[in-house]
Amino acid sequence: MNKNSILLILIMMVVSGLSPALQVLSVKGFENQWSTVSQMPTARGFHGVAEVDGKIYNIGGQNETGILANNEVYDISTDTWSVKTSMPTARSSFAIVAYQNKIYCIGGVFGEIDNPEPTGLTEVYDPNTDSWETKRSMSSARSDLSANVVNNAIYLIGGKQYQGLDIGFREVALNEVFFPDNDSWIEKSPMFISVFGYASSVIDGKIFIIGGSRQFQETETGIAVQFNQMYDPKIDAWRNLAGIPTAKSHAGSGLTKGVTAPAMQYCIGGLDQGGYSDINYAYNIEQNNWTIATPIPTARAYLGLVEVNDVFYAIGGFDGNKWLGTNEVYKPLNYGTVLPKFTVLSPENKTYASNNVSIILSVNRPINWIGISLNDRENVTLIGDAILSKLLDGEYKLIIYINDTFGNEVGSDPLQFIVDTKPPSISVLSPENKFYGELDILSTIVIDEPVSWIGYSLDGQETVTITGNVTLAVLSEGDHNIIFYATDIVGNKGSTEIIYFNVAQFPMLILIMVVLIIIIIIMAVYLFSKKKQ
């Protein structure tokens, strides 16, 4: 699948749908149109189509020569075809799905067109190595069914089984689940109404089975059904929804993802009561109703339909007279009108300890232009470095705008952030640059902002972490020096100048002797004065 990712220095584009509230500025687009691109080399129908990394693989199927094993790949970016390693077992009417960049081909029929044999065979193609491997077969041999992936499991629902009767086959309601990671199968609740040749897609983790045929009603004069059956794997339960307006079977089916076009289920071409159909129906998931879109240019059934970036490729099929290699491209309803979505990963609503702040975006599709408005100033186009450089300390408000390839422009809500590159200022009240006559000295500091760490280094020793004012206990006599450090909440580190002080404890014995001498002198003076009287 096309990753739709570009790199603009520090601006990253990844597929995501996250975003703060967005301001809608303008909307432009092109929609509901068909065009023709390079046709498939081998005309055929009943084939399987799957997309991996922007390339569409067309595998197997049948034409006037018989049942095929051909594997031809269409490169969307170059509008060219190439041939890859054929499927080991030539088959048609099988289920196909891409899972983790490998293509799973399950069930179908092989042998002679006039006397086909059903199979439950599971063959897996790896586009990276252009090679095939065989996995455990489906327990029931059946064809004309679809494969859908939900939560790392592949669901194979309905289809038809051949039998030794005049009718030759019958529709089934089977619901078997394949787990690729451990190559195992289990069975789940069968659908309400057995059908084969239906249209199918996964919407919000639920599988939709639309239209289809019952018994032998797959010919152009047969009667198909209008049912819209929805299966919820989470609760293993079915329910009926609004049926397709015209009963049809063997149509192309696909789902837009809501990236460049609103999320809708499409059912294109197929067989209806009038024969080979060109009708293009769109199913609105939220409103549970149907709309008629622009018809496919070439009416046909048994075609392959695949969606890539909300664009459909309708390839091959049968028009009632001949097998086709036709490759027609459809841009669906409201294509190009869905607004791009983006998330601002940087800057965040926080304080930065740098004068350079990166702008990093997560965008869900390619864009043409990015602009910014800083502190309500005029928009500036980002060219080259996506960095706000040489910012002064202070508070900032930033709005980011993007313009996609359709001309749709949106802007983010205002983003608030602060730049603070100044280290914390530390005032030392104690110790001072003086002599102390005691061995325990209380250190007292005042810091001008909140900090995440405080420490000191005494006499050049290793730094000691503290939580506030502490006592420098049992200091040795003599000269000392101390430096205090602090780190603020954004990482700016500050320190004091070296503070010098001296500890010289006055000896107690000398103090006592001095006191005694003073007392003696006072007494002598007193006695001398008394004697003179």
The CATH code of the domain that includes 438 is 2.60.40.10
Tell me the two tokens of residue 67. 């049942």
Res 4 pLDDT > 90: no
Whether 2 is covered by a domain: the verdict is no
Report the percentage of the chain scoring pLDDT > 90.
Answer: 76
What CATH number did the domain enclosing 314 receive?
2.120.10.80
Q: Which amino acid is at 9?
A: I
Strands (E), 204-277: 206-210, 228-232, 237-241, 252-255, 264-268, 271-272, 275-276
Alpha-carbon distance values, 516 to 355, 400, 512, 528 (Å): 68, 84, 6, 18
* pLDDT for the residue numbered 382: 83
* pLDDT for the residue numbered 511: 63
Res 253 pLDDT > 60: yes
* pLDDT for the residue numbered 504: 84
Residue pair 70/116 in contact (Cβ under 8 Å)? The answer is no
Among 60-69, 114-123, 322-331, the range scoring the smallest mean pLDDT is: 114-123
Residue 102 and residue 198 in one domain: yes
Whether 526 is covered by a domain: the verdict is no
Residue 228 and residue 363 in one domain: no
* pLDDT for the residue numbered 533: 64
3-state secondary structure of 311: strand
Q: What is the mean pLDDT of the chain?
A: 89
Residue 80 and residue 143 in one domain: yes
pLDDT digits (tens, 9 = 90+) for 388-399: 999 999 999 999
* pLDDT for the residue numbered 356: 95
Res 25 pLDDT > 50: no
Whether 529 is covered by a domain: the verdict is no
Res 430 pLDDT > 50: yes
Strands (E), 173-310: 175-179, 184-187, 199-203, 206-210, 228-232, 237-241, 252-255, 264-268, 271-272, 275-276, 280-284, 289-293, 304-308
Whether 164 is covered by a domain: the verdict is yes
- Mean pLDDT value across residues 420-427: 96
- Mean pLDDT value across residues 342-355: 94
- Mean pLDDT value across residues 510-516: 71
Residue 393 and residue 430 in one domain: no
* pLDDT for the residue numbered 170: 83
Whether 19 is covered by a domain: the verdict is no
Residue 121 and residue 228 in one domain: yes
Quickly state the pLDDT bin for 518 (edges 50, 70, 90).
confident
Res 22 pLDDT > 50: no
Res 12 pLDDT > 80: no
Among 27-31, 36-40, 77-81, 339-343, the range scoring the smallest mean pLDDT is: 27-31
* pLDDT for the residue numbered 505: 72
Residue 320 and residue 359 in one domain: no
Q: Domain boundary residue among 283, 307, 331? A: 331
Residue 196 and residue 267 in one domain: yes
3-state secondary structure of 527: helix
pLDDT digits (tens, 9 = 90+) for 283-325: 998 888 999 999 999 999 999 999 999 999 999 999 999 999 9
35: how many CB neighbours lie within 10 A of its CB?
11
Gyration radius of the chain's alpha carbons: 39
Among residues 168, 169, 187, 191, the alpha carbon closest in space to that of 177 is found at 187
Res 282 pLDDT > 80: yes
Res 529 pLDDT > 90: no
* pLDDT for the residue numbered 121: 98
Residue 180 and residue 241 in one domain: yes
Higher pLDDT, 524 or 148: 148
Res 217 pLDDT > 60: no
Residue 271 and residue 364 in one domain: no
pLDDT digits (tens, 9 = 90+) for 475-510: 999 999 999 999 999 999 999 999 999 998 765 556
Structural domains counted in the chain: 3
Whether 31 is covered by a domain: the verdict is no
Residue 358 and residue 308 in one domain: no
For 219, the domain range is 36-331
Res 446 pLDDT > 90: yes
Quickly state the pLDDT bin for 168 (edges 50, 70, 90).
low
Residue 149 and residue 129 in one domain: yes
Q: Of the ranges 39-48, 341-350, 383-392, 473-482, which is most confident? A: 39-48
